[in-house]
Chains A and B, each alone.
Chain A
């Protein structure tokens, strides 16, 4: 049973426009959410996170929004750049301090020049 879902396997946007990547979760015990970015032949790298006590967190061009009632979060990239082309993974952690991250299947973002 998939607890973290990224329903769009791929997304294509034009350079300079907004990229919106979506993620849904089913486990109400999740209280911390993270986004990772992965280039081919490299390990995932941490991008941005948000705690369940917030509904928005911003870091430069990247903003994550959390809607707890809908169990939905999204990553906005504005403006998108060709170097943002990568696979983006959404991940979630539950209360209890086990540090276990549950990952979605990923969304491949392509930013076209």
Chain B
């Protein structure tokens, strides 16, 4: 089954404790992206990657890091999480330059930073 898999689904952590949210896709998509969803703000892009070793900032990159060492994986790293990073996070992937398909999203990771 074609899918984007995020782990974990739920995470509660403390301020300053480094964490990684993993994202993996099995569709051989070139393009991957991370979004966060907050009440009243919709979906905002954090980082995106157009291919292996190619990443760039989205609209709200502060406090996050990403890497794209393999085509299928695009982990989101919070080096020192803060309470304002409490949010619902989605990873997405897409075939490059194929807008007719749009993005495939993962099921989401609900992160709480206390």
Contact = CB atoms under 8 A, between A and B. Distances in A.
B102 A103 contact: no
A93 B92 CA distance: 15
Contacts, number: 64
Contacts of A6: 42
B42 A106 contact: yes
Given A41-B107, A43-B107, A49-B99, A99 B42 contact: no
Contacts of B107: 41-43
Nearest to A35: B102
Interface of B: 4, 31, 33, 35, 40-45, 48, 50, 58, 90, 92, 94, 96-97, 99-108
Given A36-B105, A43-B108, A100-B33, 12 more contacts: A34-B99, A36-B102, A43-B92, A44-B90, A49-B100, A89-B42, A89-B43, A97-B97, A99-B31, A99-B48, A99-B94, A99-B96
